């Protein structure tokens, strides 16, 4: 199985990033996918602040065990929090309940603040767990793990080809942008600029379609028949069993706190 894992969570360019092996890398990829799915399900359905705080602490511990790059991980978490910032700030003023303070005459309810805090804890806990368990796998390893878990082949193929050719499409976009700049194109807020960007996007889609047809023809010439060949060396070990037991106990604790 390929061991060029990466700690990005977005690009799967493992061979271009420094990687420090961790205890998480020894886990079976299928166990990691199932574990993060179960963890996300329990966290999303929970509403107890203590349980959510404990889940976030567990995610932070998992991120430390996985040896995630601190700066890169922090940058991704902050980007997600900034994306939700408007929603979190608006919830106290849009959720009915007992007002605890006023801003410009608008009451902020306690229920809204609690709801905003719940969303923040849930999102950060799930994202950190995803980065630690799934983001530290190569795209190929993740695709094979999903196929072993009986995810439809078409979805697995779509995911693998998307990850593989995003960089190719990005390079094509940069090449076309350089060609426009060589012809003295300057992006401005006018009709000509928007028309030129529209042509750029259209040509990018056309080139992507042509490339996909060439790739499919090349694959057929090499005997491709739509079958997804799986690695046969994915085996559950004692490490996976111990990890599963610890996770089950932790999730049981979260569920117990939620039900109390």
CA atoms within 13 A on the CB side of 14: 21
- Is residue 91 a part of any domain in this protein? yes
DSSP state of 10: S
Range of the domain at 33: 14-146+232-259
Please tell me whether residues 128 and 189 are part of one structural domain. no
Overall average pLDDT of the 234-244 stretch: 89
Residues 133 and 240 in one domain: yes
Comparing CA positions, the residue from 96, 119, 120, 118 lying closest to residue 108 is 96
The single residue listed with the structure tokens 């805090």 is 117
- The tally of domains found in the chain comes to 2
pLDDT class of 61 with cuts at 50, 70, 90: very high
* pLDDT given for residue 12 in this prediction: 43
Q: Once rounded to an integer, what is the mean pLDDT over residues 131-135?
A: 90
The pLDDT score that the predictor gives to residue 140 is 84
Question: What would the mean pLDDT of 156-178 be, rounded to a whole number?
Answer: 87
pLDDT at position 258 is 82
What is the structure's pLDDT at 19? 60
- Considering the chain, what is the average pLDDT of its residues? 85
Computed from CA positions of residues 123, 128, 133, 138, in that sequence, does the dihedral angle turn out positive or negative?
Answer: positive
- 136 and 156: one domain? no
- Tell me, what's the pLDDT at 92? 84
Q: Has residue 41 got a pLDDT over 90?
A: yes
User: When comparing pLDDT for 76 and 12, which is higher?
Assistant: 76
Judge whether 240 lies within some domain.
Answer: yes
Residue 24 has pLDDT above 60, yes or no: yes
| Backbone Cα Rg of the chain | 23
Instruction: Supply 18's token pair.
Output: 């420094």
* Per-residue model confidence (pLDDT) at position 57: 95
Q: Where residue 1 falls among pLDDT bands split at 50, 70, 90?
A: very low
Enumerate residues 6+ apart whose C-beta is below 8 A from 204.
169, 172, 173, 176
> Among 2, 6, 8, 29, which residue's Cα sits nearest to residue 19?
6
pLDDT band at 229 (very low <50, low <70, confident <90, very high): confident
Beta bridge partners of residue 99, listed in sequence order? 109
Q: Is residue 4 part of a domain?
A: no
Same domain, 45 and 138: yes
CA distance readout (Å), 235 to 149, 184, 256? 13, 57, 32
Same domain (yes/no): 253, 215: no
CA dihedral 56, 58, 63, 65 (to 10 degrees): 170
Q: Which residue has the tokens 């932790």?
A: 250
| Lowest-pLDDT choice from 53-67, 124-138, 195-209, 225-239 | 225-239
Q: Are 247 and 38 in contact (CB under 8 A)?
A: yes
Taking the chain, what is the end-to-end CA distance rounded to the nearest angstrom? 44
**pLDDT on residue 3:** 39
Structure tokens at 14: 């493992």
Asked whether residue 95 falls in the same domain as residue 71, the answer is: yes
The region, left, alpha or beta by phi > 0 then psi within -120 to 50, assigned to residue 99 is beta
- Number of C-alpha atoms within 13 angstroms, CB side, residue 2? 18
**Contact (Cβ atoms closer than 8 angstroms) between residue 35 and residue 133:** yes
249 pLDDT band (50/70/90 cuts)? Answer: very high
Q: What is the pLDDT of residue 43?
A: 94
Angle at the Cα of 111 (from 107 to 112), degrees rounded to 5? Answer: 60
Q: Is residue 39 part of a domain?
A: yes
pLDDT at 111: 86
Question: Distance between CA 108 and CA 97 in Å, rounded?
Answer: 8
Position 4 pLDDT exceeds 70 = no
Specify whether 181 is located in the same domain as 252.
no
Whether residue 247 has pLDDT greater than 90: yes
The predicted pLDDT at position 161 comes to 85
Q: Which residues pair with 102 in a beta bridge?
A: 107
């Amino acid at each position: 199985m390929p061991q060029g894992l990466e700690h990005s969570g977005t690009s799967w360019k493992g061979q271009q990033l420094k990687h420090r092996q961790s205890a998480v890398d020894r886990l079976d990829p299928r166990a990691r996918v199932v574990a993060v799915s179960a963890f996300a399900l329990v966290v999303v359905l929970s509403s107890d602040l203590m349980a959510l705080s404990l889940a976030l602490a567990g995610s932070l511990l998992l991120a430390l065990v996985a040896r995630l790059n601190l700066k890169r991980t922090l940058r991704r978490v902050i980007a997600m929090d900034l994306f939700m910032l408007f929603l979190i700030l608006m919830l106290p003023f849009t959720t009915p309940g007992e007002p605890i303070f006023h801003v410009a005459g608008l009451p902020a309810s306690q229920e809204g603040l609690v709801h905003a805090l719940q969303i923040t804890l849930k999102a950060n806990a799930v994202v950190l767990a995803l980065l630690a368990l799934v983001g530290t796998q190569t795209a190929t390893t993740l695709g094979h793990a999903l196929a072993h878990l009986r995810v439809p082949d078409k979805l697995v193929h779509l995911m693998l080809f998307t990850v593989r050719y995003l960089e190719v499409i990005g390079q094509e976009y940069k090449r076309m942008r350089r060609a426009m700049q060589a012809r003295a194109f300057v992006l401005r807020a006018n009709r000509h600029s928007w028309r030129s960007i529209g042509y750029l996007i259209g040509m990018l889609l056309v080139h992507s379609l042509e490339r996909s047809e060439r790739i499919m023809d090349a694959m057929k010439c090499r005997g491709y028949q739509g079958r997804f060949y799986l690695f046969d060396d994915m085996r559950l070990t004692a490490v996976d069993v111990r990890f599963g037991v610890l996770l089950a106990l932790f999730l049981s604790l979260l569920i117990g706190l939620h039900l109390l």
